[in-house]
Amino acid sequence: MSGEILFLNPVFKQMIWGGDRLGKDWPYQIPGDNTGECWAVSAHPNGDCTIKKGTYAGQTLSKLWEENPELFGNTGKDRFPLLVKIIDAKDDLSIQVHPDDNYAKVNENGSLGKTECWYVLDSREGASLVVGHNAANKDELTSMVREGKWNELLREIPVKKGDFIQIEPGTVHAIKGGLMILETQQNSDITYRVYDYNRLTNGKPRELHLEKSLDVITVPAKSVDESILEADKLPENKLNLLVACGYYKVWKLDVTEKFEMQQDQDFMIMSVINGEGMLNDEKICKGDHFILPCGYGGISIQGNLQLIVSAPA
């Protein structure tokens, strides 16, 4: 084993739809009762995490990426590629869609597009997500959007704790109230808002981006069966691959005894979502997010804990 584990200090975001569970059910000091997002592993300018301890304590992840690329496999990429968030949705989030890299590059000043995926950490009875839509073709989509036929258009599907959903660019989606989600995504903050339930913030509706949304929404949408994976009861003490796409790989890891592996990716991100244990000689517990740098070598995790693990593609 070489190098040290990079533990991160999260950045919190208050949102009109946010709740207080990140401070109640998770070991975080939150800025207020409407804290919607914990940016747990992020080098994005809108929320750049700092290193918690060790050699690089206090440095931002973006600076570490620039100055110590060897920690991340010397890939030559211009920015840290991933972003991991925990989302506490007390109320419904707006209906949105993200562009792909090509569209974002041309229309959003060289930003990356956004592919993201969700692991459902907790759900209220009867919770649901919006994933996809019911329009058969572009004309139907356009008229349903313009006429505001949201109930007809949007596809709402029931979800429960342990479900996993990959959201490709062009997929209409929304997290609904009563869900806690761990999101792994491309390092981008480009979101087009399609519909916001006519809510007001400070007396005004939030901006919608209908033209850009219509440009990027995929028609027809993927089927429901292709959209959801049950990731609750997977084999223990091994990495279970949930998705591998052009940007990331994401695994679920349930440790009940002992798990051992070699860190052979450019780097790996681990988020402890339940329980506690030891990683080599470091104590880890629910709410910890850390990076195993390039060349870290062998790791051994013992205890009773659940993790979501990711690595760049």
- What amino acid positions are annotated as catalytic residues? 193
Please say whether the beta carbons of 183 and 250 come within 8 A: no
Calpha distance 44→82 (Å, rounded): 9
CA quadruple 30, 32, 37, 38: dihedral, nearest 10:
-10
Residue type, 77: K
CB < 8 Å & 24+ apart, contacts of 101-105: 101/169, 103/169, 103/215, 103/216, 104/188, 104/190
Please say whether the beta carbons of 83 and 39 come within 8 A: yes
Calpha distance 91→177 (Å, rounded): 4
Is-cis flag, bond preceding 205, omega within 30? no
CB < 8 Å & 24+ apart, contacts of 132-138: 132/171, 132/172, 132/173, 132/221, 132/222, 132/224, 132/227, 133/172, 133/217, 133/221, 134/221, 135/219, 135/220, 135/221, 136/219, 136/220, 137/219, 137/220, 138/219
How many alpha carbons lie under 13 Å from residue 59 in its C-beta half-sphere?
Answer: 15
Calpha distance 98→138 (Å, rounded): 17
